[in-house]
């Protein structure tokens, strides 16, 4: 009985440590900084308001005794920041970009005044990461929406991150999957995939559970590119992620906003725009190929500034064919052999099991004729 309280204390301690570790691993962003006056002296107790410019969701805090403030767990997007303090002019910044699992450092300088003048800063410049030494890249929807991504597969975007490479054939041992990649030389199965903060790893092969087919077959679940708000690939991540020795792929999906918005896409490829296959020379019918990828998305408010929706659909249709050259028996040749010898053969011939010869000089009656030449 004496050891029971110790076990309880140890359990509570481990639970508290685990909770702090879990909260550190996030798919949201953080806005932090300090508030000071024109002389550089810190200002405690300043009121800070952080508002999402697209959804209207607002968070408030105050600077501490060191003049520092921190607003964690912000959804990705554009924010406006307002800082007020008695005896100082208000400070207002717009267009502050908060990225997935990123930290934005915003140092505010308040000018003394009667609070009738407001300092407005348009923070649309490129944000430089100053709070961590993590290598990687963050890709936003605006950056990737017009990239020629083969197959509209989000995993191809990961190759834009530093330290990422793939096998020459870009396949895995799972038929139908989109392939694996290596981050900083680690194995292709040593990556950690997160979708909106949720584990997205296949338990069998440790491939991504989305866009991956499992043991056999084609992918059952596809993540459309138009549904991705931001994708961050971390190649030497910090210890709060853990789990894998390779990279961390942190994906955040889009959300609705106070304004209705949507997209409609259609990508196509066909044989009319393609060069001929080497084994499909001029003189033969060109092998048919039709690939259409289409879809659309729409998002908007359910309750303004509070609840939103976003819907996305993407489909693919592909019809292909193979053209090969072969000698086929024409009716004259069949008759020269005596025609059908029984009812079964006669029934088969009535169904025309072979295509009719369509290249002159290449028939069973002319076995020595030369095949068509290549261009």
| CATH code of the domain covering residue 26 | 2.60.40.1120
| Spatial contact of 157 and 231, defined as CB atoms under 8 Å apart | yes
In a domain, 131, yes or no: no
Section 236-261 average pLDDT: 83
In a domain, 198, yes or no: yes
Residues 265 and 225 both lie in one domain? no
- What pLDDT is stored for residue 285 in this prediction? 80
- pLDDT over threshold 70, residue 175: no
Q: Give percent of the chain with pLDDT exceeding 90.
A: 23
- What pLDDT is stored for residue 243 in this prediction? 77
Residues 16 and 60 both lie in one domain? yes
Residues 191 and 218 both lie in one domain? yes
E-strand stretches of the chain: 29-37, 47-52, 58-62, 68-74, 77-84, 91-98, 103-105, 108-110, 119-122, 136-140, 164-166, 181-183, 192-195, 198-199, 228-234, 248-253, 261-270, 289-303, 307-320
For the ranges 172-186, 220-234, 236-250, 332-346, the lowest mean pLDDT is seen at 172-186
Residues 243 and 285 both lie in one domain? no
- pLDDT over threshold 80, residue 18: no
- pLDDT over threshold 60, residue 23: no
Q: What confidence category does residue 115 fall into, taking pLDDT thresholds of 50, 70 and 90?
A: low
- pLDDT over threshold 90, residue 45: yes
Confidence (pTM): 0.68
In a domain, 241, yes or no: yes
Q: Which of the listed residues 229, 253, 277 is the one where a domain comes to its end?
A: 253
Q: Structurally, how many domains does the chain consist of?
A: 4
Rounded CA Rg of the chain: 31
Q: What confidence category does residue 114 fall into, taking pLDDT thresholds of 50, 70 and 90?
A: low
Q: Which of the listed residues 122, 145, 178 is the one where a domain comes to its end?
A: 122
Which range of residues forms the domain containing residue 359? 325-375
231/195 Cα distance (integer angstroms): 9
| Sequence-distant (≥ 6) Cβ neighbours of residue 106 within 8 angstroms | 31, 32, 33, 81, 93, 96, 123
- What pLDDT is stored for residue 147 in this prediction? 76
> pLDDT tens-digit profile of 302-340?
999 989 999 999 888 888 887 777 777 777 778 888 888
Residues 98 and 184 both lie in one domain? no
In a domain, 86, yes or no: yes
């Amino acid at each position: 009985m004496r050891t029971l309280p110790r076990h309880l204390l140890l359990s509570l301690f481990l639970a508290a440590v685990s909770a702090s570790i879990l909260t550190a691993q996030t798919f949201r962003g953080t806005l932090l900084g300090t508030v000071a006056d024109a002389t550089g002296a810190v200002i405690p107790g300043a009121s800070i308001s952080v508002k999402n410019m697209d959804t209207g969701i607002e968070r408030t805090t105050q600077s501490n005794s060191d003049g520092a403030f921190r607003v964690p767990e912000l959804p990705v997007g554009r924010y406006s920041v307002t800082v007020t303090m008695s005896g100082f002019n208000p400070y207002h910044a717009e267009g502050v970009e908060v990225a997935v699992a990123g930290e934005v450092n915003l140092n505010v300088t308040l000018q003394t005044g009667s609070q009738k003048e407001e300092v407005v800063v348009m923070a649309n410049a490129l944000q430089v990461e100053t709070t961590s030494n993590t290598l990687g890249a963050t890709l936003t929807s605006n950056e990737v929406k017009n990239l020629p991504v083969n197959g509209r597969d989000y995993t191809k975007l990961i190759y834009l991150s530093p330290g990422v490479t793939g096998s020459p054939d870009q396949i895995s041992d799972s038929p139908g999957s989109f392939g694996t990649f290596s981050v900083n030389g680690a194995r292709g199965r040593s990556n950690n995939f997160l979708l909106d903060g949720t584990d997205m790893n296949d338990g069998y092969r440790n491939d991504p559970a989305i866009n991956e087919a499992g043991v056999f077959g084609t992918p059952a679940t596809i993540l459309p590119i138009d549904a991705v708000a931001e994708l961050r690939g971390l190649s030497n991540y910090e210890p709060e992620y853990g789990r894998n020795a390779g990279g961390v792929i942190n994906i955040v999906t889009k959300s609705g906003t106070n304004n209705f918005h949507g997209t409609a896409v259609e990508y196509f490829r066909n044989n009319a725009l393609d060069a001929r296959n080497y084994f499909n020379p001029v003189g033969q019918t060109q092998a048919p190929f039709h690939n259409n990828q289409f879809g659309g998305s729409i998002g908007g408010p359910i309750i303004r500034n509070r609840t939103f929706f976003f819907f996305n659909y993407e489909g693919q249709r592909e019809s292909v064919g193979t053209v090969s050259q072969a000698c086929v028996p024409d009716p004259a040749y069949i008759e020269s052999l005596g025609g059908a010898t029984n009812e079964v053969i006669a029934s088969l011939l009535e169904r025309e099991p072979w295509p009719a010869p369509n290249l002159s000089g290449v028939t069973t009656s002319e076995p020595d004729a030369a095949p068509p030449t290549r261009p």
